[in-house]
Structure 1
């Protein structure tokens, strides 16, 4: 879906599909350098990271193993509750593995902080984070994120995997959702 098809639902397009693809390619070159000679397990956080995970894994010029985890701290609202629930756990043993968590967005940081600690406690050799978007103004905890695509303002955004009530995930860009849509 293109932004023009839902322009009344957006107040602004923050990132085009081309912007996103270019930045993902740059992040992949960094990841390739940092993990050269090491086996990498890439863990996508469902559902929002599906688009990022797909494009990131296709852009990497090396073998990677993939797994998925679903966690939630949102419910039906537009702000994180901070209470994390595992909806789908990993199928892979993390013992002595280099793990890269792939996330769509970091808002408060509460969910990601919890997730990193959870995966580290499973015996991973290393756990790093790659997030397409980060909202510095929304941070409630400091989370060390090794790979950040874009820092964005503290608005409710949709597209490229990000949703509101399971809509807008297939938008090929990232845009600010108009308040009249969710008010």
Structure 2
């Protein structure tokens, strides 16, 4: 059941409820806990979109893990990536010797993650893997291997649970398809 929310009128369809998202996050957290047991795990959250997922994910991981944050910009206020990625906030931790898990909210074109992988590889971590809450394979322009996926989704414009349109809707507790009237 989706709670009444002031922004619900802008949502064409609820794709995932709070309960469904929680189950996805718990499943992914258990997989990570199993696979990273006895490793030097560093979760790298790609801000801003992944902050809600990262907060819930790290609480579902039951092994030692450090966290750090990186912010990139490639969208501006549009609906599609500009293709130009810039680092707005870099990591604080020296990555050498860490088993890095990049945590993303959504993977669509793959351009941003491909760029981040190059940068992080150059910093000599022990390993690098990718985790995304949502995978939109129909939009892929760059081949990116993802190790942990919450759910594959259709090519729709989604918001909520950290995902935004023009910095709005991140605070929705569910994930919904944004009504085209909002961005047309």
TM category (shorter chain) comes to: over 0.9
Give the TM-score normalised by structure 2: 0.96
Q: Tell me the residue number matched to 2:37.
A: 36
Structure 2: where are the runs of 5+ without partners? none
Give the TM-score normalised by structure 1: 0.97
- 2: CA distance between counterparts of 1:56 and 1:4? 24
Aligned with 1:7: secondary structure?
Answer: helix
Maintained 8 Å contact 2:37/2:63: no
Maintained 8 Å contact 1:3/1:173: no
Maintained 8 Å contact 1:3/1:13: no
Q: Tell me the residue number matched to 1:46.
A: 47
2:112 matched to 1:119?
A: no
How far apart are 1:4 and its partner, in Å?
4.5
- 1: CA distance between counterparts of 2:58 and 2:3? 23
**Which of structure 1's runs of 4+ aligned residues deviate more than 6 A?**
none
Maintained 8 Å contact 1:46/1:70: yes
Maintained 8 Å contact 2:106/2:133: yes
Aligned residues: 183
Structure 1: where are the runs of 5+ without partners? none
Give the direction of change, closer, same or farther, for the CA distance of 1:2–1:162 in structure 2 (3 Å limit).
farther
Q: Tell me how large the CA RMSD over aligned residues is.
A: 1.2
